[in-house]
Amino acid sequence: MKAIVLHKPGHGSIEMIPEPLVSGRDLLLKIRMVGLCGSDLNSFRGLNPLVTYPRIPGHEVSATVLHGDSKLSVGTDVAIFPYTSCGKCASCRRRRPNACQFNETLGVQRDGALTEFIVMPPEKLYPAKLTTKELCLIEPLTVGFHAVSRGRITAEDTVAVMGCGGVGLGAVAASSSRGARTICIDVDDDKLELARAAGGAHAINSQRESVHDRLMELTEGRGPDVVIEAVGRAATFRAAVEEVSFTGRVVYIGYAKEPVSYETKLFVQKELDVLGSRNASPDDFSAVIRLLEAGKFPVDQAVSSTVTLDEAPDALRSRRWRARTNKERQ
Ligand SMILES: [Zn+2]
Ligand SMILES: [Zn+2]
C-alpha cells in the first residue's frame, strides 16, 4: 500500500509499504481523509523535537472500519484517538492520561495515518454521524476543548483567546458553547472572522488595536476571567498574566520556543491559577463530536484546501496552506 514517508527534514515521498497485519482485538481500517496541521509541517521541516525519522505523519484521521467487531460493524465511519498512555506514570495514576509522560502520538513518536490502511484497538475509535472532512476536524478541535475544560470555563466567564489558529479556534468554539462571552485575539483578520463564525463574541486585531485597551473596555476595567494562550510566544505568555483579571485563570496551550521571563509577583498579587493544557481526553472527543453533529461549527471555512495522497508531499513543501495552520504541540 502507498504511504508518505518522511526520511529526514524536508524530504517526504510516496512509498510502497506492507499492509498492516491485524492481531488480537485490533480492527482494520481504511483511511478516508487525513488533516494536516502546523505540527505536521514542523515534523516535515524537522522543527518538532519529538519526531524521529523515518516517520509516516498523520494524526487527524477519518477512517472506515473494514474488519469490525461486535460493537463497530463493517462500514462504520470513525475518528481516531491518536494518543497512547502507559498506565503507570504520575499523570496516568491521576487519571489524566492525556498528559502521559510516555505518550506516543500517531505520526509523531509512532507511524501515523498518511497511508491506505491502519490497525487500531477499538477503544481508540470514535464513531460519529459526520462527513469525512468533519471527522478529520475532531482531533485538532479537541486540543482547544481540553484547554477550556482545564480553565473550568462556565457561562459566567468572559474569556480571551490569544491566537485563533486551529488550536485557538477549538478553544473559541468550546468556550462559546459553554455560554462564556469569548473575545478572540489574532493578527490575521481572516482567522478572526473564522473565530467569530465559531462563536466568538468580539474580535481584536492585535496589530491594529491595543489589546489591553480593548480588553479593559470589554470587561469594565477588570480584565477577562480566563485567558487562553494559543500562540507560544514570550510576549503572549506574559500578556496572559498581565491581562487576566484578579483571581483569574490562565491556560497555556502554546509551546514557547524560548525561555520566558515574568513579573512573577502578578501570580501572587492576583492569586492566579496558571494551568498547562496538553493534548485531549476522551471527554473532549465526545464534546467535539456533539458540537459538529449539531452543525455548530464552520467546517468548510476552517479547511483551507484538500489534496490527494499523491499530492500531499508537494502540499507539505508548498507555502500556500500555512496561513491557516496551528502551532506545534504534542
Ligand atoms: Zn494536528
Ligand atoms: Zn502514563
- Ligand nearest to the CA of residue 85, numbered in listed order: 2
Of 51, 258, 223, 255, the closest CA to residue 147 belongs to 255
- The alpha carbon of 164 is separated from its chain's Cα centroid by a whole number of angstroms, namely 11
DSSP secondary structure letter of residue 98: G
| Ligand 1 centroid from CA 137, angstroms | 9
Q: What's the gap in Å between 205 CA and the centre of ligand 1?
A: 24
Please, what is the average pLDDT of the chain? Answer: 93
Residue 70's pLDDT is what?
79
User: Residues of the chain with pLDDT > 90: what percent?
Assistant: 80
Cα 241 to averaged position of ligand 1 atoms, centre (Å): 27
What per-residue confidence (pLDDT) applies to 48? 84
* Average pLDDT over every residue of 215-243: 97
The CA 189 to ligand 2 mean position distance, Å, reads 40
Distances (CA, A) of 24 to 79, 121, 227, 260: 21, 9, 45, 47
Distance of CA 35 from the midpoint of ligand 1 (Å): 7
pTM confidence score:
0.93
Query: Using one digit for the tens of pLDDT, what is the confidence trace for 84-112?
Result: 999 999 999 999 999 999 999 999 999 99
Q: How far is the CA of 39 from the centre of ligand 1 (A)?
A: 6
Task: Judge contact between 265 and 198, C-beta under 8 A.
Answer: no
Ligand nearest to the CA of 82: 1
**Per-residue model confidence as pLDDT tens digits over 52-91:** 899 999 999 999 999 878 789 999 999 999 999 999 999 9
**What are 264-287's pLDDT values in tens digits?**
999 999 999 999 999 999 999 999
